[in-house]
Amino acid sequence: MNLMSFAPALPEIFVLVMVSLILVIDAAVDDSRRYLAFALSLATLAGAAFLTARGMSSMPVLALNGLFIDDPLSDVLKLFLYLATAVVLVYSRDYLRHRGLYKGEFFVLALFALLGMMVMVSASHFLTLYLGLELLSLSLYAMVALQRDSSVATEAAMKYFVLGALASGMLLYGMSMVYGVTGSLALADIAQNLADGTDLRIPLVFGIVFIVAGLAFKLGAVPFHMWVPDVYHGAPTAMTLFIGSAPKIAAFAFVVRILGEGLESQVAEWRDMLAILAVLSMAVGNIAAIAQSNLKRMFAYSTISHMGFMLLGILAGTQNGYGSAMFYVLVYALMSMGGFGMILLLSRAGFESDRLVDFKGLNRRSPWLAFVMLLLMFSMAGIPPTVGFHAKLSVLQAVVEIGHVWLAVVAVIFSLVGAFYYLRIVKLMYFDEPHDSTTVTARLDVRTLMSANGLAVLALGVMPQPLMAVCLYAVGASF
């Protein structure tokens, strides 16, 4: 190796150096200067975005002896990861301060989780994929348990940790079986060896089953979804906001790298498994969400259903399918940030604002915020002219193209079921008497960012072509 071989990984190196710097600085300052960690975290994101944009290439570039890849897919996803993380930090600031969590630990863990996600999206080797996944997972476990005096948060972290360890074990076992069949851990070599054919069909199929099971847990797909509602509900809302947005983008990259790149020739083996996971996720997610009175649990089941929709694009096994799934997960991250961000904005010291009744009469308290929430709920339900409609339409077109019309019909039916609980929130905001007459107050930057979040959902719904073109280009140039 020489210094030039590290150039594609320069954004990751920069983030790691800055996290170490923030750790040292935070340990040396008192509580009145915690804003330094916040400011340095945003500066880290800006610097990483600059380095990523400057190093963008139209062709895949392998680095670190084939362990790491820099391609258009990783570059685009990293830029969205920086944006999502920055939005989470801005939305969470007041919430954390009111609950005594405005500490350097939160920012350090968020940046370490970001580093894990960056490694995941640029991995070209099973070991690199697993390294990024574990760095992300361990950071999230600690974030969930950061509110140490909360028994609910501690319980959620324990469940997340135990089930996460089980999923990691299944994933490793599947990877080891694929390694036994192909003799390699590099995704490109695995793809080539499987394309040439193998006599070890049974071990390969078992390996794919274990890998898909591990991936399904990380996505929160049914029947590996049991951790999602408890973690979303038990974790402080700022941590739930982070878990429900940026890691989903990294999880998409993780799935596409393994299935779409390494196991592409075995699409017939994993397509049916993903179809079952997608149908079960859409069914359980949408039906269970109807019975929820807590907004965070409702969004948790909503996440399960949305991951089912994303799997529809991936199981197509085509570039259009992967591009549609990428478009869907980016749109979902945008909607999720807005939904959980609204809970944070309406919360105050000693009050979480995470129940459905807390949104009653919001139009009378703040007409503009009620309108922004309306746009977000319409988009999650897939109602035009919001971008959620185009996201669902794109993945449905991908499965129809491969002849799975029945999957598209099932998805449309469960999408109609899901529209009920999203529109229920709109009904509460506009037609019910306020449950709380307290004036909504928030920082100007938070209100501005929330407004931009809601309007982006509308603008991308009117003009979805630029973002879809970016997704198709990133996928097409990388595979």
Q: Measure CA 410 to chain center.
A: 24
Best CA proximity match to 46, nearest among 109, 102, 91, 89? 89
Q: Does residue 198 register a pLDDT over 90?
A: no
Dump pLDDT digits (tens) for 259-274: 988 888 888 888 999 9
Domain ranges of the chain: 8-478
Residue 56, pLDDT > 80, answer: yes
Name beta bridge partners: 351: 348
User: For the segment 330-341, what is each residue's pLDDT rounded down to a tens digit?
Assistant: 999 999 999 999
Give the CA count within 13 Å in the CB-facing half-sphere of 174. 25
Q: DSSP for 440-469? A: P---HHHHHHHHHHHHHHHHHHH--HHHHH
pLDDT in the model for residue 3: 63
User: Across residues 393-405, what is the average pLDDT?
Assistant: 92
The closest alpha carbon to 84, from 460, 336, 387, belongs to: 336
The 10s digit of each residue's pLDDT in 123-144 is: 999 999 999 999 999 999 999 9
The structure's pTM equals 0.94
Mean pLDDT of the chain: 90
pLDDT of residue 330: 95
Q: Region 29-52: what's the mean pLDDT? A: 89
The percent of residues above 70 in pLDDT, for the chain, comes to: 99
The lowest-confidence range among 45-59, 120-134, 196-210, 403-417 is 196-210
How big, in percent rounded to 5, are the helix, strand and coil portions of the chain?
80, 5, 20
Determine the pLDDT at residue 120: 93
Query: Using 50, 70 and 90 to split pLDDT, how confident is the model at 1?
Result: low
Is the N-terminal amide bond of 367 cis, ω within 30° of 0? no
Residue 348 has pLDDT above 80, yes or no: no
**pLDDT at 99 (0 to 100):** 81
Query: pLDDT class for 350, splitting at 50, 70, 90?
Result: low
What is the pLDDT at residue 349? 66
When pLDDT is cut at 50, 70 and 90, the band that residue 66 belongs to is: confident
Q: Is the pLDDT of residue 2 over 70?
A: no
Given a cut of 80, whether residue 436 has pLDDT beyond it is no
Q: What are phi and psi of 137, to 5 degrees?
A: -65, -45
Residue 179: pLDDT band (50, 70, 90) is very high
Using DSSP, state whether 323 is helix, strand or coil. helix
Number of other CB atoms surrounding residue 103 within 10 Å: 16
Measured from the Cβ of residue 404, the count of other Cβ atoms closer than 10 Å reads: 19
Indicate the range of 201-205, 353-357, 438-442 predicted with least confidence.
438-442
Q: Confidence band (pLDDT; 50, 70, 90) for 27?
A: confident
Both ends of the chain: CA-CA distance in Å? 26
Contacts of 144 (CB under 8 A, 6+ apart): 153, 156, 157, 160, 231, 234, 235, 239, 243
Place of tokens 């150096």: 17
| Residue 62 backbone phi and psi in degrees, to 5 | -85, 145
Query: With 80 as the cut, is the pLDDT of residue 447 above it?
Result: yes
Q: Is the pLDDT of residue 412 over 90?
A: yes
